[in-house]
Structure 1
Amino acid sequence: MADYVIVTDSSCDLPSELAKELELVVLPLSFHLNGKEYHNYLDEREMPIGEFYRRIRAGEPCTTSAVNVDAYKSAMEPLLQQGVDILDIAFSSGLSATYSSAKIACEELAEKYPGRKVFAVDTLAASLGQGLLIYLAVQMKRAGKSIEEVRGWVEENKLRLCHWFTVDDLNHLKRGGRISGATALFGTMLNIKPVLHVDDEGHLIPMGKVRGRRASLDALADHMEQSADDPASQTVFISHGDCREDAEYLAGEIKRRMGVKNFVIGNVGPVIGTHSGPGTMALFFLGSKR
């Protein structure tokens, strides 16, 4: 076994096969749909993502829960007992208590196993933004970088990880308190689509608005064109809320404009999808700043 493993949580939204290929340990967050609890495993073993979005569209109520300290300790302790160090790369503290749980678990386990290294990093990222940081961290690990070097790189570069989002249904943002009821009502009537990003504190904030779905997708590409570092050399990540065709359109537009060749396209999972809704489109890349 490797001298250290990378641990994360399911809000990273990485496709299941990619997470397996990257040799990650992934802890599931939970969601409560219509009063029943499900675990958000990346392989969708408890609920297919299509069913989740069908039920959300039908108006079933849903809430989410963070990974708790005990779950982290249960997953990490057997690794430490085998003599393996741990780097946890966690969901934004600005959106979830998951990083707080990870940090507490790491501190307690580091005290119990003084010969081992147990680190937690707050990505200040969400969905495939978190996934992209993890993907890049694994590439560094495979290139022979130490756990300290990878941890340091993630800390130093996480605020270069650009997140740009749009949503199709404003009512989900209204329920989450991101916009007012009046804004949702009039925005829906006028076909207004918000453009949002994740800021340096890891919060999802509105940055603008456009009229029409296609214009909102083009706005995401516009932001990348304005701020990406050497985009043609990057692997760009795109996540979508049950709207694969729109994700393919966005990828095509980015390829046409900026010569990007490599993409990872995946679903916005239930943890983010509960709050952003079907039709969410999110774009992730490295830039000069968020």
Structure 2
Amino acid sequence: MNKIKIISDSTCDLSRELLEKHDISIVPLLVNFKEDSYKDLIDLNSEEMYKLVDKHNMLPKTAAASPGEFLEMFKKYLDQGYQVIYMGIGSKFSATLTSATTAKNMLENEDVFLIDSQNLSSGTGLLLLKTAKFRDMGLEAKEIVKRVEEIVPKVRSQFVIETLDYLYKGGRLSALSAFMGGMLRIKPIIKVRDGVMVVGKKARGNIKKGIDLLIQEFINNLDDIDKEFVMVTHSLAHESYLYINDKLKDINDIEKLYETDAGCVISSHCGKGTIGILYIMK
């Protein structure tokens, strides 16, 4: 049986504990404030990033990991006799998969396998946990890739946004829409579908109204959800997590309900207070 190493990037938003438990290594994306560049989750966490946003009165620019970083990481494990499976942020969200593909082509090694998660944050994280499960079952790399690619379209990632400022400043929302949304206290639900972000329902009022929509959708789909892993991922919104956990804790057949923190790259695009429930359909 071949040794298999799983590699992702810092946008997967798995906790350090989960990464270590499942032996998943991370290539960091970059967060840039003018001339200052930080490696996501290595040089900077989300709380520190928000302080820099306030200090500079600007959002950072994020950048994909370079081919060189993937080349170094892939070669490290190939030289130890591993096959490598990489899966990180979806190809429509970042050029990171392109960098990984460039590195694979430079190595000209068929023991590097790449999967497009078509997702972000712990939507990718859920797929990584499945990948680790299949590896630990002793499956071959090609079979793991095949099984995970079949699961990719079954991932459901949705977040409720506390503030529209980050979507506006990041160029994803017009000034008028941001103004009207703020005036009407709209909390949009952002979903990932077919590899891109779309706007779902829009709650009006405080963020709990939006969270309740997420919870209700989860409960409505309960019979069709793979309950092995469920993620509640947020950007400095622990109280909102506790609210969700209280609502879901009596659903006995959820095997693992994880709280995870959004890293700097994800947080820089969604803003403080954002929270989501992420899961896989059967």
Q: Same fold (TM over 0.5)?
A: yes
Query: For the structure 1 residues 222 and 98, does the alpha-carbon distance in structure 2 shift closer, same or farther, using more than 3 Å as the test?
Result: same
> Which of residues 189, 197, 201 is equivalent to 1:204?
197
Structure 2 residue aligned with 1:22: 22
CA positional deviation for 1:108: 2.6
CA positional deviation for 1:52: 1.8
For the residues of structure 2 that align with 1:257 and 1:164, how far apart are their CA atoms? 20
Confirm or deny: 8 A CA contact 1:34 1:60 kept in the other structure.
no
For the residues of structure 2 that align with 1:239 and 1:285, how far apart are their CA atoms? 11
Q: Secondary structure at the match of 2:191?
A: strand
1:130-166 Cα deviation digits (max 9, x unpaired): 1111011101111111111111111111110000111
Query: For the structure 1 residues 55 and 250, does the alpha-carbon distance in structure 2 shift closer, same or farther, using more than 3 Å as the test?
Result: farther
Q: TM-score, normalised by structure 2?
A: 0.92
2:197 is matched by which residue type in structure 1?
L
1:247-262 alignment, distance < 5 Å:
247-256=241-250, 260-262=254-256
For the residues of structure 2 that align with 1:48 and 1:273, how far apart are their CA atoms? 10
List alignment gaps of at least 5 residues for structure 2: none
List alignment gaps of at least 5 residues for structure 1: none
1:32 is matched by which residue type in structure 2?
N
1:241-266 Cα deviation digits (max 9, x unpaired): 11111012112223346753521111
The percentage of counterpart residues that share the same residue type is: 28
1:1-290 alignment, distance < 5 Å:
3-33=3-33, 35-41=35-41, 45-56=42-53, 59-109=57-107, 111=108, 113=109, 116-200=110-194, 202-212=195-205, 213-228=207-222, 230-231=224-225, 233-256=227-250, 260-287=254-281
1:210 is matched by which residue type in structure 2?
A
Q: Secondary structure at the match of 2:249?
A: helix
2:152 is matched by which residue type in structure 1?
K
Q: TM-score, normalised by structure 1?
A: 0.90
Q: Secondary structure at the match of 1:14?
A: coil
1:53-111 Cα deviation digits (max 9, x unpaired): 333355343110101111100111122122211111121111100011112212332x2
Confirm or deny: 8 A CA contact 1:162 1:287 kept in the other structure.
yes
For the residues of structure 2 that align with 1:17 and 1:2, how far apart are their CA atoms? 25
Confirm or deny: 8 A CA contact 1:90 1:102 kept in the other structure.
no
- The number of residues matched between the two structures is 280
1:284 is matched by which residue type in structure 2?
L
Confirm or deny: 8 A CA contact 1:53 1:242 kept in the other structure.
no
Q: Secondary structure at the match of 1:237?
A: strand
Q: After the TM superposition, which of the residue ranges 52-61 and 88-97 deviates more from structure 2?
A: 52-61
Q: Secondary structure at the match of 1:234?
A: strand
Confirm or deny: 8 A CA contact 1:56 1:277 kept in the other structure.
no
Query: For the structure 1 residues 2 and 17, does the alpha-carbon distance in structure 2 shift closer, same or farther, using more than 3 Å as the test?
Result: farther
Q: Secondary structure at the match of 1:209?
A: strand
For the residues of structure 1 that align with 2:46 and 2:165, how far apart are their CA atoms? 20
2:135 is matched by which residue type in structure 1?
K
For the residues of structure 1 that align with 2:17 and 2:226, how far apart are their CA atoms? 25
Confirm or deny: 8 A CA contact 2:2 2:140 kept in the other structure.
no
Query: For the structure 1 residues 36 and 223, does the alpha-carbon distance in structure 2 shift closer, same or farther, using more than 3 Å as the test?
Result: same
Q: After the TM superposition, which of the residue ranges 68-77 and 78-87 deviates more from structure 2?
A: 78-87
For the residues of structure 1 that align with 2:49 and 2:255, how far apart are their CA atoms? 31
Confirm or deny: 8 A CA contact 2:226 2:281 kept in the other structure.
no
1:180 is matched by which residue type in structure 2?
S
1:211 is matched by which residue type in structure 2?
R
